[in-house]
Amino acid sequence: MRKTAFLFPGQGSQSVGMGEDFYREYDVVRTIFDMTEEISRINISKLCFKGPIEDLTMTVNLQPAVTAVNLACLAVIEKENVDFHYCAGHSLGEYSALSAAGVHSKEDTVRLVFKRGELMHREATRNHGAMHAIVGLPIDDVADLVAGVQKDGLVSVANHNTELQIVITGALESVSKVSSQAVSKGAKSIPLKVSGAWHSELIKGAEEEFKAFLDSTPFKVPEKLIFFNVTADTSNDPDAIKEIMGRQLCSPVRWYDTINNLMDENVEIFVEVGPGRVLAGLLKKILPGDYPAKIYNVANMQQLEKFLKDT
Q: 80 lies in a domain? A: yes
Does residue 176 share a domain with residue 112? no
Q: How far apart are CA 240 and CA 214, in angstroms?
A: 12
Question: Residue 69 falls within a domain, yes or no?
Answer: yes
| 12 and 62 co-located in one domain | yes
186: enclosing H helix or E strand: none
Give residue 266's pLDDT.
97
For residues 116 and 67, membership in a common domain is answered with: yes
Residue 227, phi then psi, degrees to nearest 5: -95, 130
Tally the domains of the chain: 2
Question: DSSP letter at 221?
Answer: -
- 25 and 140 co-located in one domain: no
Which of the following is catalytic: 132, 179, 199, 200?
Answer: 199
**Are both 184 and 209 inside the same structural domain?**
no
Q: How far is CA 216 from CA 112, 137, 180, in A?
A: 10, 41, 43
| Residue where one domain finishes, among candidates 147, 173, 191 | 191
What CA–CA distance (Å, rounded) separates 131 from 189?
10
Strands of 269-273's sheet, edge to edge?
225-226, 86-89, 4-8, 269-273, 294-298
State whether residue 285 is helix, strand or coil.
helix
In a domain, 153, yes or no: yes
Q: What per-residue confidence (pLDDT) applies to 243?
A: 97
| Amino acid (one-letter) located at 31 | T
- Looking at the structure, tell me whether residues 161 and 213 fall in a common domain: no
Residue 23 makes CB contacts below 8 A (sequence gap 6+) with 29, 30, 33, 45, 49, 72
Q: Which domain holds residue 40?
A: 4-125+201-310
Q: Do 103 and 180 lie in a common domain?
A: no
Residue at which a domain ends, from 191, 225, 240: 191
**Catalytic status, residue 199:** yes
Nearest to 160 by CA among 276, 285, 264: 285
Based on the fold, state whether residues 184 and 217 are members of the same structural domain.
no
The answer to whether residue 132 is catalytic is no
Give the start-end residues of each E strand in the chain: 4-8, 86-89, 130-135, 155-162, 165-170, 188-191, 225-226, 269-273, 294-298
Distance of alpha carbon 76 from alpha carbon 23, whole angstroms: 10
In terms of domains, do 142 and 32 share one? no
pLDDT value for 311: 83
Catalytic residue among 13, 40, 45, 91: 91
Question: Is 26 inside any structural domain?
Answer: yes
Provide the CATH number for the domain around residue 230: 3.40.366.10
List, run by run, the mean pLDDT of 10-residue segments along the chain (311 residues): 95 96 98 98 98 95 98 97 97 98 98 98 95 98 95 90 98 96 98 93 96 97 98 98 97 98 98 98 97 97 95 83
Q: Are residues 149 and 297 in the same domain?
A: no
How many Å separate Cα 105 from the centre of its chain? 18
- Same domain for 281 and 147, yes or no, is no
User: Does some domain include residue 155?
Assistant: yes
Beta bridge partners of 174: none
Same domain, 29 and 151: no
Taking the CA atoms of residue 42, residue 32, residue 194 and residue 162 in that order, the dihedral angle to the nearest 10 degrees is 170
Query: Residue 137: which CATH number?
Result: 3.30.70.250
- Which of 153, 172, 191 is the endpoint of a domain? 191
Helices 238-248, 207-215: axis angle to 10 degrees equals 160
- pLDDT at position 142 is 98
The answer to whether residue 196 sits within a structural domain is: no
Q: Which pLDDT belongs to residue 195?
A: 87
